[in-house]
């Protein structure tokens, strides 16, 4: 069996000498000089594939773009990357440790000592985050000039991708979240729920894939997604769920 690596996917030869990615044909196999060659389907030329593939023969360790081995044999590689075996799903609240074991609450006075809620893959792991679901709950009516019900933020909320050298990507672009409507500028999908009596809740959905691309965090680079809180958040509930999948 001959395997090809194109970006993060493996294309393999079946009985009809076709190359498939998630059941979509991209080209055909030929052979020459003991190596496997591929002809890229012209319909996907221009997407970058024509310059991204490499021939793998014989099968040895196949690596992703970050240098991590997918596996050293056909079964491991195809099992790990085929569409029929999906990547493990991630659904986790950001917390103070980053591995799910820390404090997940964004309620409290952090004006003197900032609270950083985060998610960070362990060494050897790679996460791809597809969206964040921020949730704010307070005990009275929300308004457009404050955070929650009447909370004034001085420093605001910063959302960023960080590694040991500093900020890799500032997702708030130097303009922290100060008031409730600021979430709509980032997420667009924002719903204020009032169930008649009791607390009100502001729920947002920030889909990274629709903002440009999924967020990838590489454990070996100590990359993490962080929400930085540096004000007094006098709220009933304040949490940040992230969802995605683990590719390594």
Tell me: the pLDDT tens digits for 148-186? Answer: 998 999 999 999 999 999 999 999 999 999 999 999 999
* DSSP SS3 for 42: helix
Boundary-marking domain end, from 46, 81, 116: 81
Boundary-marking domain end, from 61, 81, 101: 81
Instruction: Report how far residue 223's alpha carbon sits from residue 241's, in angstroms, rounded to the nearest whole number.
Output: 18
pLDDT of 25 above 60: no
pLDDT digits (tens, 9 = 90+) for 93-116: 999 999 999 999 999 999 999 999
Which region among 5-9, 98-102, 206-210 has the lowest average model confidence (pLDDT)? 5-9
Q: How many domains does the chain have?
A: 2
Which region among 26-35, 79-88, 202-211 has the lowest average model confidence (pLDDT)? 26-35
Please count the helices (runs of H) and the strands (runs of E) in the chain: 3, 20
**Average pLDDT for 36-42:** 38
**Using a CB cutoff of 8 Å and minimum separation of 24, what contacts does 29-36 make?**
29/2, 36/2, 36/4
| Burial (0-12, 13-18, 19+ Cβ within 10 Å), 21 | buried
pLDDT of 43 above 90: no
Do 164 and 241 lie in one domain? The reply is: yes
Phi, psi torsion values for 136, nearest 5 degrees: -125, 130
Which residue range forms the structural domain that includes residue 63? 3-81
């Amino acid at each position: 069996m001959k395997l090809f690596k194109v970006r993060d996917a493996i294309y393999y030869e079946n009985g009809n000498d076709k190359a498939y990615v998630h059941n979509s044909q991209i080209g055909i196999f030929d052979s020459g000089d003991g190596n496997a060659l591929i002809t890229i389907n012209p319909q996907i030329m221009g997407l970058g594939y024509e310059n991204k593939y490499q021939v793998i023969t014989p099968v040895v360790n196949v690596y992703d773009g970050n240098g991590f081995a997918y596996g050293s044999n056909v079964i491991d590689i195809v099992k790990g990357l085929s569409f029929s075996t999906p990547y493990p799903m991630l659904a986790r609240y950001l917390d103070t440790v980053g591995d799910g074991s820390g404090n997940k609450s964004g309620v409290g006075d952090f004006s003197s000592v900032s609270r950083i809620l985060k998610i960070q893959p362990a060494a050897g792991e790679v996460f791809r985050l597809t969206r964040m679901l921020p949730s704010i709950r307070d005990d009275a009516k929300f308004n457009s000039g404050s955070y929650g019900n009447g909370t004034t933020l001085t420093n605001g909320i910063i959302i960023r991708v960080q590694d040991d050298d500093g900020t890799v990507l500032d997702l708030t672009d130097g303009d922290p979240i100060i008031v409730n409507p600021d979430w709509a500028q980032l997420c667009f999908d924002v719903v204020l729920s009032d169930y008649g009596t009791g607390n009100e809740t502001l729920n947002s959905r920030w889909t990274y894939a629709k903002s440009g691309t999924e967020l990838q965090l590489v454990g070996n680079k100590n990359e993490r997604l962080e929400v930085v809180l540096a004000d007094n958040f006098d709220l009933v509930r304040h949490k940040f769920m992230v969802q995605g999948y683990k590719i390594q």
